[in-house]
Chains A and B, each alone.
Chain A
């Protein structure tokens, strides 16, 4: 089954404790991206990757890191989480053509205390 797999689904952590949210896709997609969803703001792009070893900032990259060492994986790293990073996070992937369907993971609800 074609899918984007995110883990964990829920995460509660404390300020400053490094964490990684994993994302993996099985569709051989070149394009992958991370979004955060906040009430009243919709979804906003954090980072994206057009291929292996090619990543770039989205609209809200501060406090986040990503890596793309393999085509299928695109982890999101919070090296020193803060309470303002409490949010619902989505990983997504698609073919490179911009009108192609964007496949989303099931989301990670992160709470930073």
Chain B
């Protein structure tokens, strides 16, 4: 079964600095999708960024970018110019591209990010 591991339960960063959140996953599939979700105190789940495994180019969305290392099964999230509004729980998630595994997201344990003013 696919698994996702976030080894950093908590991280903190100074406002305007850069922070990287780690995520590793385990799968025997070659075609899949990876996601980062943000959960602020409001509890809303917000999609931050997604990556297709067949694409070598790393996805970017404004201040958010990923470092996707397929061979190492690593998918880290980099937040540049951190802002107070970035404070949240961040979840890494995996989804198969085909078959039964495509019907669910597998989530990591989450990393709580604190932004220090």
Contacts and interface: CB of A to CB of B under 8 A. Distances in A.
Interface of A: 31, 33, 35, 40-45, 48, 50, 56, 58-59, 88, 90, 92, 98-99, 101-102, 104, 106-107, 109
B97 A106 contact: no
A99 B97 contact: yes
B43 A99 contact: no
Contacts of B36: none
A104 B35 CA distance: 14
Nearest to A44: B107
Contacts of B93: 43
A56 B103 contact: yes
Interface residues of B, number: 25
Contacts of B110: 42
A98 B45 contact: no
Nearest to B34: A99
- Most A-side CB within 10 Å, residue of B4, B43, B96, B98: B43
Given A42-B91, A42-B110, A43-B91, A102 B105 contact: yes
Contacts of B9: 40
A88 B103 CA distance: 21
A51 B97 CA distance: 19
B64 interface: no
A99 B47 contact: no
A33 B102 CA distance: 12
Contacts of A90: 45
B34 to A, nearest CB: 10
Nearest to A31: B103
Interface in B28-56: 33, 42-45, 47, 50, 52
Interface string B74-117: 00000000000000000101011110001111011110000000
Given A48-B104, A98-B96, 14 more contacts: A33-B104, A40-B9, A42-B6, A43-B107, A44-B107, A45-B105, A98-B103, A99-B97, A102-B105, A104-B44, A106-B42, A106-B43, A106-B44, A107-B44
Nearest to B98: A98
B103 to A, nearest CB: 5
